[in-house]
Homo-oligomer: A and B are copies of this chain.
């Protein structure tokens, strides 16, 4: 049972429940409220912070949903522990590498506009004869090849140049062009490197590659982009956390 000192600014535009939830979130992350700590009951917490009980509950709802605390009827509320990093957000290799503190580099191997080949046309839900960008790029980290990336997207989405693509990640460019990413269907499998892949990735022909295929959708559910990326298996894998 711990008393947590929180300063609540009632003149702030930030909702009260959000201020309280954030303060508890921070205290849990920083270990001020360690796992298994029993929190005061809702009624007394609400009194302590001079809030109504539903407002206090709303703050706790947030923490429960974030997996930081557990509530049991008749018992009380207890800290579970710091949040689990699940890797479920729609991101890009470029952004992921940046988040890790790496400096991703891109070499554009192909940038062309073509009439969408049949499987691409289907994946992107385009009509016959639609034009798409066909991109092939090599991604390097610290000067070392990591992935070969092939992507297809409608030309109507954005104007892309070699220079753009070598300066920033594709998803960043699309976002800047107003594309509204909502979700992506992703499949992770494996393959072995052929001669060209091995050459580009500075690996042995026949070595293992992690293969990721993805179709990204915007908020109306329309496909934006599809692609196939292959990564050196000795340098990359996909981490995720599954929950019950």
Contacts and interface: CB of A to CB of B under 8 A. Distances in A.
A244 B89 contact: yes
A189 to B, nearest CB: 4
A233 B208 CA distance: 11
Contacts of A183: 84, 241-244
A176 interface: no
B188 A237 contact: yes
B208 A242 contact: no
A76 interface: no
B237 A184 contact: no
A190 B206 contact: no
Interface string A187-225: 111111000000000000011111100000000010000
Nearest to A216: B242
Contact of A188 (B207, B208, B210): B210
A90 B86 CA distance: 12
A90 B189 contact: no
Copies of this chain, whole number: 2
A241 B189 contact: no
Contacts of A185: 239-241
A237 B237 CA distance: 13
B190 A191 contact: yes
A81 interface: yes
Contacts of A38: none
B187 A237 contact: yes
22 contacts: A84-B183, A86-B88, A88-B240, A89-B243, A89-B244, A90-B242, A91-B242, A183-B241, A183-B242, A183-B244, A184-B242, A187-B239, A188-B237, A189-B190, A189-B237, A189-B238, A190-B190, A191-B208, A192-B206, A192-B208, A208-B208, A240-B240
Given A91-B242, A208-B208, 12 more contacts: A81-B221, A86-B88, A88-B242, A88-B243, A89-B244, A90-B244, A181-B244, A183-B243, A189-B190, A191-B208, A211-B237, A240-B240
Interface of A: 35, 54, 65, 81, 84, 86, 88-91, 181-192, 206-211, 221, 233, 236-244
